Each structure stands twice: as structure tokens, then as C-alpha cells.
Structure 1
Amino acid sequence: MHILARNLNLPASFVEIRHAATHDMLPGLPVLRAVAARALAWLWDNYWVSVGVKWTSEVTGSGEEAVLQSKARMALKRWRQLRRDDPRKPLKRFDKTPEGRETYKIIKECAAICRGEEGKEALIEAFLEEKGLIPAGKKKAPLMNGAFHLWLPLLDSLDASVSGFSNMLLSAMLDIFNTNRPLFTLLDGTNPDDTHPPEFMEAVLAWLKHLTSTNPEPKTNFGHRAISPIDYDELIKQCVVRPTERGLKFLRHLLNEYPAMNEKYARVVEIAATQVVLPPARKAENCTDTRKRKLEEVEAEVKEFEARFEAMKRQKAEQEARLRDGDAMQVEAVVETVKAGRWKKWSGEWTQRPIGVL
């Protein structure tokens, strides 16, 4: 379903809400209303707005999408090469040096790519690949601060010039949590069903937290100078519709950063936390010892239960034997009384007459 959705340029959240409504518990009415509104907007942008327009290879097509993706990757590659020697260098608005001119040329190229929705998706895809916002290599955590310094000037510039860029980027990051797979089908033959490694996911979470922090370091204007400010309500709803472990961490981060949201969403976050399905236990230094200890505890508990069960069986057998012996004595006493032809004093154990029996 996710592959079909990507081929149709459908947001992954549509697939997730459909899966939840079909196979899991039906989402609440506010969530369904929000998704319905987003679906109507998608239909307008992807169908109705183009009704009556003559479709040609110049307007749309897989060729244009490939060109946009190639342009986006090349622009980000040039930015990385230009800034990696001194990523902390501030941008100067009227910088006439060759480096300054090239910097603003790249910003303009990225903004031009984002003129349409397909261009925005292509640029965001390039951002969310390794060597984009996500550092290359296995150990990404120590490199995140350098990644912030490297890319924040470009992100802030696009945020201030491209309508809806900030919300689209943050939403795409959350979609990675929801699907745990690459956001778009890559053109290099990568299997679209390959899942992201934990280090990649943690790097995405670090970006989400940094871009939505009230006092980040290094500083950023992301979402503050934007044409379309960050829609925190929509981000929270996106996390609640399909709760995940890292999505829950992001939700708690937002509540800590913006206390005013606590009253509105604290209870919703608690409910979402109960729906999170934790992934299989990760390999850790003490993972083997922990599993062995738990297995031994279970075996001991089973053995203790078996011992109690055997004791209960013996006790029950003894009680049944005593009852059989008592019944035999009562029958024998009755027989002796009948044989004598007269009543005599009862020598057996006395039993109280049941209530209601005459």
C-alpha cells in the first residue's frame, strides 16, 4: 500500500489512517475530520486544479520528477562542499565574494525547485537522505551539532521564502517514523521496503527537536520568519493518529517546550502512549544477561507451580479417599440396622440435614 501511495504522490499518513480504520481501532472524530480536510486539499492540488489543462511532457511526467530530484541532490551537494570547511560562517546579505555569490545562487536554485509540490517533495527527499541533513556513517549522534551548523542557514532561507516548506519538512520527518522506511521510492535501485537503521531514526528525531525548540543551540529562525508558521496542532495530530516510540518522544518534547499545549494535549499524549508498540529488544551489552535472568525466573516459577499442583492433587486424592471410606461405613451401618429389624443408636458420623429437606 505504501508503494502504491508513493507512486500516486499520496501522503503516507493517508495509508496509515486507512490501515487503522480497517484493521485497528477506529480513530476519533477530530482525527478523521483533520485527515478528511487534508485529503480534500490533496485532491484539489493533485486533480481539480488541473482539470481542463492540456497535459504534456512539459507539464508533468516521470521525466520531470527525475530532473527535479537530480537538481535537488546536486544543489545540496554543492552547498555541502561550499560550507563544510567553515559551517559556522554566517551568511551576509550583500556578500560580493565568489563564495557569497555561489551561496545565494544555491539558495535561489533551491527556492526555484520548490515552486511546485513535486519540487518541494524532491528537495525534501534530498534533505532526508544521508549526506543531506542526516550525516553519513554509522555513528551519527556526535556529528549532529555539525549538521545543524551546516544546514540551518539554507533551511532558514527556504523557510522564509517558500510557503509551507517548514510544515512539509517536519511532516515528512514524522512520516519516516510512521512507516520506518524511506519516504519516497529512490531512483538508484534501493529497495523501498528497506527499513531505516536506528541511528538514522535518532538523527531525524534530533532534527525534529532542534527545529521546534524554543531556545536551540545553534540558533535558528526556522518557523519564526516563515510564510506559513509551524502548525504544531497538525504535527501533534499526525503523531497521535499513528503513535510510534520516537513520535511519542517528539510529542513529549513539544509539551515540554510549549507548556500552553499541556492542557490541550497532555491527556491525548497519555492515551497515545498506551497504543505504542515497542520494537523488538535492541542488542545491548547486558541484553544476553537480562534475557537469561528472566528465563531462569520463568523456569523457577514453573517448577514452583508444578510442585503446588502436585501437592493439590495429593490433597484432593486424600479427601476423596476419606469420603469413600465414610460412605462405606454409613452404608454398612444401615444394612446392619435393617438386618436387626429394629432401629438402634447411630454409631457413624453425624451429618446436618440440608436446609429445605424434610
Structure 2
Amino acid sequence: RSLEGALRLGETVQAQVDAERRLDIHRNHTATHLLHAALRQVLGTHVVQAGSLVAPDRLRFDFTHPRAVTPDELERIESLVNEKLLQALEVRVYPDVPIDEARRRGAMMLFGEKYGERVRMVEIPGFSLELCGGTHLRSTVEAGLFKIVHEGSVAAGVRRIEALTGRALYQWLREREHAIRAAAERMQTPVLELPAAVERLQRQLDALQTELEQLKQRAASQAVESLTPIEVDGVPVVAQAVQGVDAKSLGAVADRLIQRGVGVAALGTAHDGKVALVVKVAPQWIERGVHAGNLIRQIAQAVGGSGGGRPDFAQAGGKHPEHLADALAQTPQLVAQQLRG
């Protein structure tokens, strides 16, 4: 692809390889060979390459395996690759080898790939031997370090590993180091003590959550004591907005009112500009025609919401808390209408 200008037949051109980019590819390609060998050593010789990508900034390797690779297995694979990198093993390239000799030596070949009579072979002595036409390091130590950053499924019986080496890995580590340092500063603790600090914070959060639930229950109990029913054709009805409780606690308040003899409990609460509504009906009044789902549907319309539910219990939401009191005020009339059928 020509970015600018034009080429003419017979012209002399100068080709230049981006040395830094090429070295990044060297690192990832040699690491891919090491990864392939490590997978077969840790997981078993059933592992066969099913696809790969060698880019300057990452490598990707697909392989046959019937299940997810466990964290322990990934750690062993990664450690084995890094062990071979740090041993500074020579990467030997044999550019012209008879195919029969390659087979005799046990070189890895891609399933379904067609090879000629003579092939190119890449060896990392004592660990990896593959047929390969790609570019490689001269020594494994030039890759620096190797890090697996993802493992997942791409198809039935095929797994994928994504990994980094060299400059891309250094950048990946720096980003995470900055994030960990920021978290440690926020927690006002040394980096190595960060897990313990997070655990302490979680315990504190759990304790506060328990305390909050207890306060909600107390508020619900107080709400029950403060609500007085009115008689509607013989049915004790409570229809009021309740302060200081959330939507979940609202249901608990309605349950307690029914347990105390209330026939219909229609309750609402407002928080952050939103309305929550609950209607509960005692069994004996369901038999007389009162239906919680139908009640709440009409109440919710007045607060710009919708909802529904069973004859005995219904929930709804709304977006106009300023109309909550008026919406609940219609409950006695709605109950009377249902009783009259």
C-alpha cells in the first residue's frame, strides 16, 4: 500500500525495517514457542496449536484443551516460560532441513498444514522444536519477562491465552503499580499491607451495614406504631407516606400492619427524587374483592409510575414524589370501589 507518491518499474528503492517494532515481534514470537511447549508440559501432550497472533504489543495463542485452565496451572505455565527466558537459552534457526529429518527429530507441525520437502526449523534446545518461518530472538533472555493476562474459551474444546513480554509488559506493570500505589495512599497503608487494609475496611463496612439494617428495622417498628387505620366499609385501611425507610423496609412495615389487624396497607416513601409504593391486603379482604395489584396500579399513576402484583401484595415505583401524599389519599375511595365490585 502506497501512502504517498508513486513507484515506477525499474526504480531503486531503499527498504528500512523498524528495528524496535521488529524486536517486539521477536520477543512475542519466541515467547509463543515457549508457551506452546510449556502448555504441553503442564497440561499434557493433547495440547495442539489452534491459532495464534504475534503482534508487537501482545501475543495470542489458541490451543486444544477440554476445560478452563486453572489458576494453579496458569501460574505453573507462566513460571516455566519465565524460567526458560531467564536461562538465556540460545534460539537456533535451521533454515533448510529435510522434512523427514524434522519428523525424526520430533519437530512440532501444525495439523492440516502442507509442508514441502525442505522446511525451516526453530529450536530452543531441550525445550521446544517447531517448524516455523517467522522471526525470532537470538537468546530467550532478550524477551525480558512473560506475563499471562487472560485465559478463556473461543470455541468448544479450544482455549485462548493472551500474554505480554518486553516493553508492553513493562507498561502493563507500570499502570498497575500506579493503581496500587494510589489505592495504598488512599487507604493510608504501605503497598504490601494493602490486602490486610482492604480486609479491615470490608469488615468495617459489614459492621456498618448490619447497624444500618438494625436502624431500618427500628424505623420500621416506629413507623408501625405511628400509623393509625381508618375504617372503609368495615376494612381497616392505612394509606400513608413513611419517612426514613427504604423500599425493602416498606414491605416489612406493611407486613407488620397486616399482622396487627390492618386489612389494607398502602404505603409510600420518596428518596433521591424517586417514589416506592407497596400495597398489602389481608386474606379475608381478598375474598371480598380487594386486589393489591389493581390498587397499586391506580395509585402509581398519580406519581408518574406503574406497577402491579398479586391480590395480596404489590409493588410500584414513580418519579413524582411531590404527588405522593395525594396518590395515597385516594386509597380509601379505591378500596370502597373494589368492595362494591
TM over 0.5, shorter chain: no
TM-score scaled to structure 1, two decimals? 0.23
TM-score scaled to structure 2, two decimals? 0.24
Higher relative contact order, structure no. (Cα contacts within 8 Å, ≥ 6 residues apart): 1
Relative to its length, the structure with more helix (as a share) is 1
